[in-house]
Structure 1
Amino acid sequence: MSLTAFDSQITGLMFTDSKTSELFSDDAVIKAMVQVESALAAAEGACGVIPKEAAAAIEKTCARARIAPYRLAEGTAKDGVPVPALVKELRSQVDKDHARFVHWGATSQDIADTGLVLRLKAVLDLHESALTRLARTLGDLAQAHRNTPVAARTRTQQATPTSFGLKCAVWLSAILRHLDRLPGLRERLLTLSFGGAAGNLAALGDKATDVEAELAARLGLSISPAPWHVMRDSLDDYANWLTLVTGTLGKMAQDVMLMAQNEVAELKPGSGGGSSTMPNKVNPVGAEVLVALARQNAGLIATMHQAALHEHERSGSNWAIEWLTLPQMVLATGAALKEANTLASELVVRTENMRANIEASNGLLLAEAAMFALADHMPRPEAQEKVTKACRVVNETGQHLFDVLKDSYDLPIDWNGLKDPACHMGASDQMIDRVLESFQKLAEKA
């Protein structure tokens, strides 16, 4: 029986990405913690804290250790953390003379937190790659459709013409900011957790910082100036980033869904899902999932911030809240990136319908342009009043707005030329260029 939609055999494929999920499996959690224990023994052996023979024996045992998750279940339920049971298992596999040196001077949180960071390091690589693929696809769409007019919509209503390429560039601009945040995020997040019993590594005496430096180097992590057992801002920073990413993907998906409605039909989101009773239905399932995952993370981020309130030098309850919350956020983001890449790569752009929807307004989408054209010949308030009056005529008669204005006012304005919506896309070209240049610069830095 599955307890969440993420690990359900029924819904799991819809809400997860296999590569991200693998890094949060029980086996991956154990493997990462064993990696930390192995590196700890090696670092302590190199620094003369434990005998080199003991360090070698522990490393050898860790390399071949295969600890089944169920072996840690009872101990975790009793101790509130899996590390004591893990250490017991490792000690049972190391020869008797060296077993006592397993986990020397460390505390459970050192092993669990550092193991988490090692897994998040791999997750960040996965998600950065997925974001970059999505950015490339959106960049191609922005370039290909820079001259494709589409109705912009504000407060759900048609506003003025814009460029569909610019719409894609707007989506892309947020993706680029998320990529730009990653180096700083990595610097803050990928940090060794190593403080010992109460955060001061007292058990390691005058070799404490030497072991810390050696351990960090072996694991490819940086060193925190002070222990972060109870200061979880880096994890919250990461959770914020996850929420921003899924929020952007959800916004993009929501736009696609609205533009794919039958009455609008400006986009077709690739393949879709069917109905159990209506053969005509092609539901935008991928886009729906993206919106759901965005809202899921938006709710969970509040819980992550609640979990930041650790008391004194160790908190069991707030630490456990992280275990309940952060994996869901990471899995949701992995799934969202998978769905977003599929959605963007399969997106069908119906340019003829975009143009038809603009034309169907009989020029009402060009009311702003009409007002500014008149404002060259009269005060703007007067121009606005005349266009407002003409809009009422359009609604009553079905005439084109510019034909109404042409017949009403004898002014030297090329109303027929102004009917082309492509004339009213403003600085879309320059804005698209700026976003694409930003992507190019980011790619060059990487």
Structure 2
Amino acid sequence: MTVSLFDNFLTTREMSAVFDDAAVVQAMFRFEECLARAQAAQGMIPEAAARAIAGVCKAPLYDIGALVHAGRSAGSVAIPLVKELTKTVALYDKEASSFVHWGSTSQDVIDTAMVLVTREALELLDAGLAQLTAALLALAERHIDTPVLARTLMQPAQVSSFGFKLAGWAAPLVRARLRLRDTAARSLQLQLGGAVGTLSAMGAQGRAVAAHMADELGLACPASNWHTQRDEWVRLGLEVAVLTGSLGKIATDLALMAQGEIGELAEPSGVGKGGSSAMPHKRNPVGAMTALAAAARSPHAAAALLGTMGQQHERGLGNWQAELAEWPGLFLSAHGALAALNEAIGGLQVDPARMRANIDALGGLVFAEAVAGYLAGFIGRPAAHTMLETLSRVAVESGRHLADVVSDAIDADPVLRNQVDLAHWQSLFHPVAAAAPGAAAARALLGHLHDIQRKDETT
């Protein structure tokens, strides 16, 4: 697979290598090798033929570029691959060459090869997810009691716990790991159906051959072929797209909190990292940028997979080929985003003092709901809400702290002046106290996530 300069910028060498042309071709040869061995085990072909075929199922023996080029004219790279394999086997054993690819079809070879390389791709994603999740959970534990502004509709809302925000970032990643494994268990299947999916050329031995191959390849053996029944396979691709969307959510928040005007977070710095070609002072969040780019691309690839599902009869014309072309991009983007965020979160610089300063700069307005909730016990919720709406406007217009404005209003109200606990309502303006519900929610969520991980480890 040829990866462009700009694709390379948004992915990793490791994931590019998984879907490299040579890797996919080798996976196709692996299919042919296992097919021959399984058929020999069932007495369909001679053992010597199986050995002769397996002995030359090695991608470096072939001109991969020529195979790819010939595949364009043939309509499938499997066709020239089988042709060249047959010729190569014939050089050593003429009789054995007649048994190459017996009873199989091009889609069997290609789909199984894609399953094999996708399994490697999923292992990379799983490792990256494990690393990122662990880093986020560790940070969340460290910052459970750190007050931070929660923002809704891009505006300051209330004071929350930064640990709760981090645990919220980690939660969909923990779920993604489980769902990817669960979906992979169903979708990483052998493809073996022959010309129209019935294994007619192999007769009664077809199912036994399939079971032998699946066992040797470490894949699930489906009840039938899935040439044009792509539901389980596409579902796996969609799970990767959802994961990338979750990574994009983390990147969005990180980028916003790293803005100079906010300054609550910063990605790790270093020579040549996040700089600008024009502005020496710039410190760009390149990890977040990479993950956001991946998240922007994935919905289109996911939609393309869904769009290819209406495949005609027993073999798709154009839509299966489109699916094959789209498939690697999902994994390239997801792993690029994971790697970028692992680097960013691994060296993330958290500034609790700036978080506190951003809270203080709002003059107490973010505590208005808590104060209204307290005063509702004396004057009812509607009246308390209206009162704090009015007092918040007064605070903004006068430039005074909301606590001072509320204090004046309580003193002026004989009912409130005689009933309100001064020390209690003033404590509602303390950031650490205001963050307590978020901290409690963080502890509960972290406990839940750790339970999920422990159960996963024991299964």
TM-score normalised to the size of structure 2? Answer: 0.93
Task: Single out whichever of 302-311 and 418-427 deviates more from structure 2.
Answer: 418-427
Task: Single out whichever of 353-362 and 405-414 deviates more from structure 2.
Answer: 405-414
Please tell me whether the aligned partners of residues 27 and 68 of structure 1 are also in contact (alpha carbons under 8 angstroms): no
Alignment correspondent of 1:7: 4
Please tell me the residue identity of whatever aligns with 1:438: H
Task: Single out whichever of 424-433 and 23-32 deviates more from structure 2.
Answer: 424-433
Deviations 1:279-310, CA, capped at 9 Å, x for gaps: 22222122112111101001221111111110
Please tell me whether the aligned partners of residues 109 and 191 of structure 2 are also in contact (alpha carbons under 8 angstroms): yes
Q: Note the C-alpha offset of 1:317.
A: 0.4
Mapping of 1:141-156 within 5 angstroms?
141-156=139-154
Alignment correspondent of 2:399: 398
Task: Single out whichever of 65-74 and 96-105 deviates more from structure 2.
Answer: 65-74
Mapping of 1:31-430 within 5 angstroms?
31-63=26-58, 66-94=61-89, 95-271=93-269, 272-409=273-410, 410=417, 411-414=420-423, 415-430=425-440
Please tell me whether the aligned partners of residues 30 and 67 of structure 1 are also in contact (alpha carbons under 8 angstroms): no
Q: Report the Cα distance in structure 2 between the residues aligned to 1:64 and 1:230, rounded to whole angstroms.
A: 28
Secondary structure of 2:439's aligned partner = helix
Q: Does 1:439 align with 2:441?
A: no
Task: Single out whichever of 11-20 and 130-139 deviates more from structure 2.
Answer: 11-20
Residue 359 and residue 391 in structure 1: after superposition, are their counterparts in 2 closer, same or farther (change >3 A)?
Answer: same
Extract unaligned runs of 5+ from structure 1. none
Please tell me whether the aligned partners of residues 80 and 316 of structure 1 are also in contact (alpha carbons under 8 angstroms): no
Secondary structure of 1:377's aligned partner = helix
Query: What's the % identity of the aligned pairs?
Result: 37
Deviations 1:35-60, CA, capped at 9 Å, x for gaps: 11000000000011111111111112
Q: Note the C-alpha offset of 1:425.
A: 2.5
TM-score normalised to the size of structure 1? Answer: 0.95
Q: Note the C-alpha offset of 1:18.
A: 1.1
Residue 280 and residue 74 in structure 1: after superposition, are their counterparts in 2 closer, same or farther (change >3 A)?
Answer: closer
Q: Report the Cα distance in structure 1 between the residues aligned to 2:263 and 2:69, rounded to whole angstroms.
A: 56
Please tell me whether the aligned partners of residues 163 and 442 of structure 2 are also in contact (alpha carbons under 8 angstroms): yes
Residue 74 and residue 159 in structure 1: after superposition, are their counterparts in 2 closer, same or farther (change >3 A)?
Answer: closer
Secondary structure of 1:199's aligned partner = coil
Please tell me whether the aligned partners of residues 153 and 160 of structure 1 are also in contact (alpha carbons under 8 angstroms): yes
Q: Note the C-alpha offset of 1:433.
A: 2.6
Deviations 1:105-148, CA, capped at 9 Å, x for gaps: 10000010001001111111110111011100000111011000
Q: Does 1:30 align with 2:28?
A: no
Q: Report the Cα distance in structure 2 between the residues aligned to 1:439 and 1:387, rounded to whole angstroms.
A: 37
Task: Single out whichever of 73-82 and 28-37 deviates more from structure 2.
Answer: 73-82
Task: Single out whichever of 211-220 and 423-432 deviates more from structure 2.
Answer: 423-432
Q: Note the C-alpha offset of 1:426.
A: 4.8
Task: Single out whichever of 416-425 and 285-294 deviates more from structure 2.
Answer: 416-425
Q: Report the Cα distance in structure 2 between the residues aligned to 1:442 and 1:129, rounded to whole angstroms.
A: 17
Q: Report the Cα distance in structure 1 between the residues aligned to 2:328 and 2:159, rounded to whole angstroms.
A: 42
Secondary structure of 1:48's aligned partner = coil
Q: Note the C-alpha offset of 1:397.
A: 2.2
Q: Note the C-alpha offset of 1:65.
A: 5.6
Alignment correspondent of 2:15: 20
Residue 435 and residue 68 in structure 1: after superposition, are their counterparts in 2 closer, same or farther (change >3 A)?
Answer: farther
Please tell me whether the aligned partners of residues 103 and 201 of structure 2 are also in contact (alpha carbons under 8 angstroms): yes
Deviations 1:376-417, CA, capped at 9 Å, x for gaps: 211111111211121122112222212211122123232432
Task: Single out whichever of 199-208 and 217-226 deviates more from structure 2.
Answer: 217-226
Task: Flag as ranges the 4+ runs of structure 1 deviating above 3 A.
Answer: none
Please tell me whether the aligned partners of residues 257 and 284 of structure 1 are also in contact (alpha carbons under 8 angstroms): yes
Please tell me the residue identity of whatever aligns with 1:376: G
Secondary structure of 2:266's aligned partner = strand
Residue 431 and residue 66 in structure 1: after superposition, are their counterparts in 2 closer, same or farther (change >3 A)?
Answer: farther
Please tell me whether the aligned partners of residues 161 and 442 of structure 2 are also in contact (alpha carbons under 8 angstroms): no
Please tell me whether the aligned partners of residues 26 and 59 of structure 2 are also in contact (alpha carbons under 8 angstroms): no
Q: Report the Cα distance in structure 2 between the residues aligned to 1:428 and 1:164, rounded to whole angstroms.
A: 8
Alignment correspondent of 2:414: none
Please tell me whether the aligned partners of residues 65 and 90 of structure 1 are also in contact (alpha carbons under 8 angstroms): no
Q: Report the Cα distance in structure 1 between the residues aligned to 2:443 and 2:386, rounded to whole angstroms.
A: 36
Please tell me whether the aligned partners of residues 160 and 439 of structure 2 are also in contact (alpha carbons under 8 angstroms): no
Task: Single out whichever of 181-190 and 351-360 deviates more from structure 2.
Answer: 181-190
Deviations 1:214-244, CA, capped at 9 Å, x for gaps: 1111111111112100011122111111111
Residue 438 and residue 202 in structure 1: after superposition, are their counterparts in 2 closer, same or farther (change >3 A)?
Answer: same
Residue 286 and residue 64 in structure 1: after superposition, are their counterparts in 2 closer, same or farther (change >3 A)?
Answer: closer
Task: Single out whichever of 185-194 and 415-424 deviates more from structure 2.
Answer: 415-424
Q: Note the C-alpha offset of 1:12.
A: 4.5
Residue 104 and residue 431 in structure 1: after superposition, are their counterparts in 2 closer, same or farther (change >3 A)?
Answer: same
Quote the RMSD (CA, aligned, Å).
Answer: 1.6
Q: Note the C-alpha offset of 1:364.
A: 0.2
Please tell me whether the aligned partners of residues 29 and 59 of structure 2 are also in contact (alpha carbons under 8 angstroms): no
Please tell me whether the aligned partners of residues 83 and 111 of structure 1 are also in contact (alpha carbons under 8 angstroms): yes
Please tell me the residue identity of whatever aligns with 2:421: P
Q: Note the C-alpha offset of 1:64.
A: 7.8
